[in-house]
Chain A
Amino acid sequence: MAAKRALTPKEANLFKDLLTLYETRQLKKGLKTADQILKKFPEHGETLCMKGLILTHMGQRDEGIDLVKKGMRLDLTSHIVWHVFGLIQKGEKNYEEALKSYTQALRFDKDNINILRDAAQLQTQLRLYDSLVETRYTLLKLRPTLRQHWVALAVAYYLNGNLDQAKNVMEKYESILKNIPDYDVEHSETLLFHVRVLEALEEHSQALSLLDTNAKERAIVDKTAIMEYRARLLSASSSTTGEAQEGEGEASAAWHTLIDHNSENIDYYYGYLASLGLHPTLSPSYDSTKALETLQTLSTALPRASFPRRLALTLAPSPSSEDTNGTFHTLAKPYILTALQKGIPSLFVDLKSLYTDQGKMEAIQGIVEDVLRSFDSEDTSNAEIDRDPSMYIWTLYFLAQHYSYLASHPTLPQPSSPPYIPSSSSSSTPPNPSPYPTQSHSLHLISLAISHTPTLPDLHLLQSKILKRAGDPYGAATAVNRARELDGQDRFLNGKTGNALMRAGLVKEASGAPGEVGSGSGGGGGQQGKGGVLGVFTKKDAASPASDLEDMQSLSYLLEEADAQRRTAPSNLGLALKRYLAVQKIFTEIQDDQYDFHGYCLRKFTINVYLNLLTWEDSLLLHPAYLKSAISASQIFVYLHDGTLFPSFGILGGAGKDRGGSGSKGGKGGKGGKGGAGEMTDAEKKAKKKAKKAAAAQKEKAKEREKEEGKKAPQAANEDKGLEPPAPKDDDPDGTKLLVCEDPLERAAKLLAPVVKLLLSKKDKTSKGKNASQKRMKGYGEIEFWVTVYDVAVRRKKFLQAIQALTQAHTLDPEHPEVHLRLIHASKTVSSFSSSSPPSETITSTFSSQLSNLLPSTISPETHNSQYLQKHSKNARAILASAKALEMLGSSTKEEVETVVFGMLGSGAGAEGVHVDVETALEGLGYLYSLASDEKAEEFRVKCDERFVSSTVFKSEQEQGKLRDAVREEVTRLPGEEKEKGDGEVSG
């Protein structure tokens, strides 16, 4: 082998040149040089690899990679060929494999600095901190004179949790440093990192003295960081030693300085209170009166700071009802009145976190209702309130949000007094009096505000939100479009309009390409020929607003469109999947993006933000958008696997109808494994066939396209195209291929797996970590996630994974309707073990024994289900779950199941006061359709339509179609082009 590698001196020199040419990216020259060598030594593996690498850079990827592979085969013991191969794999973002190649390369040249450095970056990306420490250690040994290598080793130790070693390295490093210039930012960063290590070791006094010495010597230059570290370290050292007022005093002073510096940082206030022993949760001797006094002093000293005033509202004790002179009331009244007078739109958002406390919520309601009353009473004696017209609308605006929020959050404490309805002279008829807040109340208030001041976009936007909550997506779209028309340069309003249109089923009008929009209005140019509404702010040369928004990584858009596609028709499920998967892709890109920082940040010594970045990346996948897309896509994959109908979840209830007609007895994967296909209706089989055909046709087309493009491949420009493969052609623009994929469950499992790993590892760690993860998950349900993991795992016959997921969900909320449904499913699965071929003795017994921890095996699932229904007879979602469970158990008639579903609307005996919202009712309706109970479903729909007065989603399909057309016309017409044609020009 080695003989083959030998070159004559001339060629050996040429090879050296070749390497330099590549390093400096002189690709064309490099290629020539490689060819020169190959003329004499056509079998020279290293040269072949280099040529392949250069070709890849020049965009001739396939040819290049072939050459690399050929070169490798010729010289398997060369570090160069492995390095080249590693580079190619790294370019493909295949980090695991690339690291393997680098490891191979190092076997043949263990002290190669370049390869070691690249390997370290890969190890960081893959979070292989053990081997990272080794690599960094080798690098330091090879080049101890490089400052970077010292710090890099300390960082590796820190990441690997070897804090003591990290500290040792930093001490050694600082002891040998010489000639540091003043105000050196890089040195300042490394010192701060040293302090950080000591803080993590809880060596507070050491950290403090290091910090103070270097701060005094101006070696650490980041002043805010110094103050923050000082305050934290002083607090920590006084709390661990428990010693002395003096230490406490110093800590408080440090926090106080920070507050003076930036009076709107929450952490500073909590730090300050904690240093005084007045932290509401951390301080054992917490005294709310003293805490409030402290905040009062701060607000006096900092009159412009809003946060101490706001924090006082959180810390004030819960007022008893009717107590209008209590602490909370005294604090809240000026806070609210000032904001209403100034017209601060975010006041409600600011205050709503207080609503978990009934007393505070009622006090707030009382204060704002009083303001409104004083406006209504025409009584000018109340000097406290200036009768300012703008204050009047902000008051209405607040109350409308207040009632709507309470009405859509029934689990929050509700006010005990009925809502105040202002008398009105306007056309809007007041709603029927009701003891509790409803969306109708809010709608009344907001329409009062709009007729008072029709030019404020916020009011229309809120009207849209309330209508959405009330179940009227069409009205919501029209309302937000009115807001948009008032201010053409407001991107936020534009985006909101796009979202509302998609919710109303008008995806093309939201994000379609220019040619696709405006079919309803008979030409007229629509959005000035820009395509959907969202196109106003997207790139003009993009194929469609949709494609630009995807390029710009707009998560909210992708999720909104995916949901919209999922709601409209079963044939659009492919598009929905595509959009959910696009969200997944964005997160992968974000993870890939951190790669360059592993090298860059250490080179630039920006260590502290870099470490924060790594921590952030580590829990990136708990982002609500990632979770939502993973869960939703998995649900679709599960339904594809089961071959059952996809239940209508969405707001377009009427659309559920064309999914009727299937006798899908298998229901929620009751049969677990295969056999789904047998349950499809003819119509669906047809649809599936069609999809397959379309997919095949597209494949053909794609092939042809490729061929054509292959012909006109551009010849060797000297342009560096990098090692990243170009984005593959999208040969499935409508997601039809996804719908017929062979391995839906495996795909789902792949989406869920990283989050499972993340959540379990967080739970293993300290309880602190667990809290953090739950906080993160709050936006999108962790329960829903585990339930989905269960659904996928049980169908893949991964029973241990399934029961683990179910246990996790059960721990979070044992009574959750979705958990209940899975418990029943699991117990059914257990009973099927004996009859069908069992997976294995140990697995089945583990599954059953763990299940019996969650659901006592002494009670039959049937009994358990009826007990559950009794226990939650007022909860519509629980009723629906128990109906589904009843169907799954298979021992009840369809009529019995239907009767349970109707219980959601309180029609059953003694079921008065069932709380049901629009969304749950829609799910119930979709479920009835999926039972093929068309007549019953129709009855249910009509009942819902009567019950939800402001809703339109329970209208018949035809009526909804008309409403949708009206919205389409509204958004696609030109400004000024209104229904009634105006008369001639008149002025004055």
Chain B
Amino acid sequence: MTSSKANNSRVSFASLTLNNLGTVRKLNSVLFPIKYTEKFYEGILSPDVENFCKLVYYNDIPVGTICCRFENKDEQVHLYLMTMGVLAPYRSRGLGSQTLQLILDAAISHEKPSINKIYLHVQTSNVEAKQFYEKHGFKQVGLHENYYKKIVPHDAWILEKTIEH
């Protein structure tokens, strides 16, 4: 397992492998009201996104995950943040901020292709999450109506942040 120590010695990160994918599945099933497809799990194992898909450990216990993918739009490269979550008991300890910062740093230093912006969807009921991203410099740029088919509310905000190189 390749894990890198973050500033806070109790928090560390690990890249995803076929072997710890079971942990990602478990976290997703607890954290999100959506069941992800096998295509999703194939995608996050791709070597291209290794720096943007991580498990988050607190005291050596896997408690969170963050997964992104690349999207090409109008000759620009966007990083789409698909999932990010930390188990409820471990929130408000800076884990989310550290994780997001890790991804932002990776995005800044990423070359070939260089990343123009990072964006994501937040369900309109999840005000806390929106505030969290805004705190980290994301801006709401739109509303996607009926984004979620099976969960209520169906709408999602679109938040994005431009990557300054």
Chain A: residues with CB nearer than 8 A to chain B?
343, 388-390, 392-393, 452-456, 485-489, 975-976, 980, 982-988
Contacts and interface: CB of A to CB of B under 8 A. Distances in A.
B63 A986 contact: no
B149 interface: yes
Contacts of B60: 343
Contacts of A486: 20, 22-23, 26, 62
B27 interface: yes
A343 B150 contact: no
A487 B59 CA distance: 17
Closest 4 CB pairs of A and B: A988-B121, A982-B35, A488-B19, A485-B22
B122 A488 contact: no
Contacts of A390: 58-59, 61
B82 A988 contact: yes
Contacts of A988: 82-83, 120-123, 147-148, 156
A343 B123 CA distance: 36
Nearest to A987: B82
Contact of A453 (B34, B82, B89): B89
Given A453-B87, A455-B62, A976 B38 contact: yes
Contacts of B34: 982-983, 986-987
Contact of A455 (B23, B36, B121, B122): B23
Interface string B82-120: 110001011000000000000000000000000000001
A453 B63 contact: yes
Interface of B: 17-23, 25-27, 30, 34-41, 58-63, 80, 82-83, 87, 89-90, 120-123, 147-150, 156
Nearest to A977: B38
Contacts of B38: 976
Given A453-B87, A453-B89, A454-B26, A488 B21 contact: yes
B149 A984 contact: yes
Which of B37, B38, B61: most chain A CB closer than 10 A? B61
Nearest to B144: A988
B62 A983 contact: no
Nearest to A459: B61
Contacts of A984: 37, 149
B83 A987 contact: yes
Contact of A452 (B36, B89, B150): B89
A488 B121 contact: no
Nearest to A451: B30
A982 B22 contact: no
A455 B87 contact: yes
Given A488-B18, A988-B120, A453 B23 contact: no
Contact of B121 (A389, A485, A987): A987
B24 to A, nearest CB: 9
A527 to B, nearest CB: 14
A488 B149 contact: no
A392 B88 CA distance: 13
B140 to A, nearest CB: 14
Nearest to A488: B19
B93 to A, nearest CB: 8
A391 to B, nearest CB: 8
B59 A985 contact: no
A982 B120 contact: no
Contact of A392 (B87, B89, B121): B89
Contacts of A456: 61-62
A343 B26 contact: no
Nearest to A460: B26
A390 B122 CA distance: 28
Contacts of A343: 59-61
A749 to B, nearest CB: 49
A988 B150 CA distance: 13
A49 B26 CA distance: 69
A486 B41 CA distance: 14
5 contacts: A455-B26, A486-B23, A985-B37, A987-B40, A988-B123
A76 to B, nearest CB: 66
Contacts of B120: 988
B59 to A, nearest CB: 4
A984 B34 CA distance: 9
B22 A488 contact: yes
Contacts of B25: 485, 975-976
Contacts of A982: 34-37
B139 to A, nearest CB: 17
A487 B150 contact: no
Contacts of B62: 455-456, 486
A231 to B, nearest CB: 38
A897 B107 CA distance: 78
Given A489-B19, A986-B34, 17 more contacts: A390-B58, A390-B59, A392-B89, A454-B87, A455-B26, A486-B26, A486-B62, A487-B23, A975-B21, A982-B36, A983-B34, A983-B35, A983-B149, A985-B37, A985-B39, A988-B83, A988-B121
A976 B150 contact: no
A975 B40 contact: no
Contacts of B147: 986, 988
A555 B57 CA distance: 35
A984 B151 CA distance: 12
Nearest to B148: A986
Contacts of B26: 454-455, 485-486
Contacts of B83: 987-988
Contacts of B80: 987
A569 B148 CA distance: 54
Contacts of A388: 59
Contact of A487 (B20, B58, B63): B20
A976 B17 CA distance: 15
Which of A983, A985, A986: most chain B CB closer than 10 A? A986
Contacts of B36: 982, 985
A288 B44 CA distance: 60
Contact of B89 (A389, A976, A980): A389
Contacts of A983: 34-35, 149-150
Which of A485, A976, A980: most chain B CB closer than 10 A? A976
Nearest to B80: A987
A988 B34 CA distance: 9
A390 B21 CA distance: 22
A488 B82 contact: no
Nearest to B18: A488
B132 to A, nearest CB: 14
A983 B150 CA distance: 8
Contacts of B156: 988
A250 to B, nearest CB: 44
